[in-house]
Structure 1
């Protein structure tokens, strides 16, 4: 049975058939993952889910049968969000693949997935507490954000224990939170999540300057603010920060070079806008020029090189996926994800 409101959704396995239980579960998660029973046998499927929309973040408590999950590029573009999904594995384990690398999380571990990037996973019987948070709530430098997708915080570490206990407590009190309390809980959770993810991607011995004070972070923030400006280039960065060409290039060498970094950030931004651009005439041009490219041709070449398809094909695929989701009456997650904000309240 599905019980729902604007702020709360519940999927229960004890009042419906396994096939109906799976249909409701799959529909509820459709904007996060494509889900399927691990053995393909829907007749033995069981899943329970309680999700709450607290304005500035979403929290969900779930317990489910073994499954496989997939979030591919077409789903990423159809949903068009770049929030972070933080999952505590209360019990069970999950193997997952991100950026071509295989990893796993077990009981007590906390795992982060970037919803602007593809992933796939396979889980046994799994109980989780999950948070979806806008990335603006998480205080990390851009360099660290590039590494959080698939990052695992060991549940046995000091920060792992602190964050685990905080998430367990949040799950208990979340149904009773009001607007003022929700804001305070959000601030506390954001601080712990930021510290936990910093440790997961940088190691516990990372210095404060590495995490929040680097010159690279300042330059990356400048780039993010100016991605739509066609004039953004290594030269404008050098002038703004008073850097020599050799210093700037050496700073971005670990990220593949400053010019490639700017281009890839523009392309990633354009990819997340596919669902909102529409398939009418001029869509590709709008994507190109609103993301700082000098011409539609240059944008199309770079887009195909990065994503393996041209922008028009990607727009059509995104539109197809989005249209399919809009017809599902119980796809409440899509509206919740789109409405999530770093300053929201109930």
Structure 2
């Protein structure tokens, strides 16, 4: 028997085409005012954003595309309960340069990020398209590992764990339009449990000490300083055990350096050379001296970072396709969802 539409997962929408050009940015600011301040990069009347959302219990699943924009989350957004959530993001197109207390982080296509929204930040974006989930902090146990020093965990979809998360995430989104609310709650609960497992949380407080688990832990923290001591403390193992695990990689320091260089290479390949400097990228991945970085990069990739950045045709400024005009009631529903879940609803 078909499920009645009233029992399906609630859906909402924000479409810039519903508004006059001068009203688009103010309307989206009003929608997301508890999360951040947003401004257009360039002509404000040319600001475009399309957001499709599903609500499952106290989670909001979004698919969003932005024209170039700047975002700012400041102290006014951190009052009361407004900071008690995380945002999971899967970058589909474009890139963000995020400035936080720990420095600058480049968020790029093909990577999944779990971000701690208890922190202030600023970010600038090119055209950007992403999936995101707004998650109350208490729904993910891995939130205990996010703090001022480690505000973002990340996984590439080129890694097994990142690929698995992306496939299940995309499957969830494809099912929401025909799934009952009760079934969706079960599916999303399983999804969050999987995130905890793959991002490093273990409810027994005895993390899996396999080599793969240690690699996943390191890869999700490459933007920040990470040491053998930190790995020892997290996995409750000795320093000699850590060194032995990474012996085939030439040691743990060499493994971390290699993975940071790989991420620098991937970012350089898709970066816009008119807006990005080599130093912007290598500094965000923990390299501080240009000469040291360049020598290490050339040793692996047999060319210079500048040569990769300047390669023509790398930068993909994806087309901004138009969407059909939807009912403004869907925008009102979206507005209410954000107010409830980000902690500013009196009802």
Normalised-by-shorter TM-score class: 0.5 to 0.7
Answer yes or no: is 1:334 the counterpart of 2:339.
yes
Structure 1 residue aligned with 2:218: 203
**Tell me, what secondary structure is at the counterpart of 2:110?**
coil
1:22 to 25, 33, 50: 25
Which runs of 5 or more residues in structure 1 are unaligned? Answer: 1-5, 216-327, 341-346
Tell me, in whole angstroms, the C-alpha distance in 2 between the residues paired with 1:196 and 1:154.
12
Q: For residue 183 of structure 1, what is the aligned residue in structure 2?
A: 185
CA, structure 1 residues 8+152, in 2 after alignment: closer, same or farther (shift >3 Å)? same
User: 2:53 touches 2:334 (CA, 8 Å); kept in 1?
Assistant: no
Counterpart-to-counterpart distance in 2, 1:15 and 1:99: 37
State the Cα deviation string for residues 129-148 of structure 1 (Å, max 9, x = none).
11011222223373455655
Residue of structure 2 in register with 1:287 after alignment: none
| Distance change (3 Å), C-alpha of 1:133 and 1:210 | farther
Report the TM-score when normalising by structure 1. Answer: 0.56
- Pick closer, same or farther for the CA change 1:47–1:211 going to 2, 3 Å: farther
| Secondary structure of 1:190's aligned partner | helix
For structure 2, the residue ranges without an aligned partner over 5 or more in a row are 1-8, 201-212, 222-230, 238-331
1:36 to 39, 52, 55: 39
Give the stretch that moved more between structures: 182-191 or 58-67: 182-191
Checking the alignment, whether the CA contact within 8 Å between 1:159 and 1:195 is kept in structure 2 is no
For residues 64 and 86 of structure 2, the distance between their equivalents in structure 1, rounded to whole angstroms, comes to 18
Cα 1:185/1:112, change in 2 over 3 Å: same
Taking the aligned partners of 1:169 and 1:118, their CA distance within structure 2 comes to 32
Map residues 1-346 of structure 1 onto 2, 5 A cutoff: 7-39=10-42, 41-77=43-79, 80-140=82-142, 142-143=144-145, 148-198=150-200, 202-203=217-218, 331-332=335-336, 333-338=338-343
Query: Normalization by structure 2: what TM-score?
Result: 0.56
| SS of the residue 1:151 aligns to | strand
> How far is 1:212 from its partner?
8.1
Q: Map Cα deviations across residues 63-90 of structure 1 (whole Å, 9 max, x no partner).
A: 1101000111221115533111011111
* Change beyond 3 A, Cα 1:191–1:115: same
Distance (Å, rounded) in 1 between the aligned partners of 2:52 and 2:220: 37
Note the C-alpha offset of 1:154: 1.9
CA RMSD of aligned residues (A): 3.4
Deviations 1:289-328 (A, max 9, x none): xxxxxxxxxxxxxxxxxxxxxxxxxxxxxxxxxxxxxxx9
Distance 2:136 2:232 in 1: 22
Aligned partners of 1:11 and 1:21 also within 8 Å = no
* Cα separation, 2, equivalents of 1:141 and 1:132: 13
1:192, 1:77 → 2: CA distance? Answer: 30
Q: 1:175 to 1:205 in 2, by over 3 A?
A: closer
Aligned with 2:142: secondary structure? coil
The structure-2 alpha-carbon separation of the partners of 1:176 and 1:337, relative to structure 1 and needing over 3 Å to count, comes to: farther
Secondary structure of 1:140 counterpart = helix
Measure, in 2, the Cα distance between the counterparts of 1:330 and 1:339: 14
Compared CA separation, residues 334 and 141, structure 1 to 2 (3 A) = closer
Q: Which residue of 2 is the match for residue 251 of structure 1?
A: none
Deviation at 1:193, TM superposition (A): 2.0
- Select the structure that is richer in helix: 1
Instruction: Deviation per CA, 1:223-246: give whole Å up to 9, x if none.
Output: xxxxxxxxxxxxxxxxxxxxxxxx
